[in-house]
Structure 1
């Protein structure tokens, strides 16, 4: 009898859906192509909450050459928003930087990869 009660209790616990936000990002890599040294380029990533609970997302660039307009957003279920950022590499050649997205949706953190080839002249 006790065993049946425990099994029934476990079945009920595992069948319950826990409210949880879940994010989807429209793209995780942005290639700016060829840009000039000292040039600032801008873009954005869109994020959607496909879960059933509110989710908070924070963005952290890995260098001072990337500036994020607003580093924290909160999304209700079904809501869409994003991060706008500017990128101004200070070195020439192939440049690769990252923006870390941390969210309260309990999944792994996400990385947005920014790449560009920075030239010193228009040639």
Structure 2
């Protein structure tokens, strides 16, 4: 593994921009919990991220880890270690460049569904 550009930051394996596949992104976002994670990340300012522990999820830590791994391996999020914490950020630029309008449409649909179901 190549040394990190910034001290104290260690990256996990992610697909390169050109390796991100639509079917992997759609699969990753097909799970309600993963979609909720992405909605929370999309609400942040560009360049901001959240640690895994900042998400309130109704599943075990190992299941949460699985959900984050699916999102990362699909190219939906980027995870980097800062110290012992994993910081999660949305790969909006990559997704928007590869699949223009997809992320915005999915997030808008998820927002409408949450309102319709009384969840947000």
The TM-score bracket by the shorter chain reads under 0.3
Where is the helix percentage greater, Structure 1 or Structure 2?
A: 2
* Greater radius of gyration (CA): 1
Where is the strand percentage greater, Structure 1 or Structure 2?
A: 1
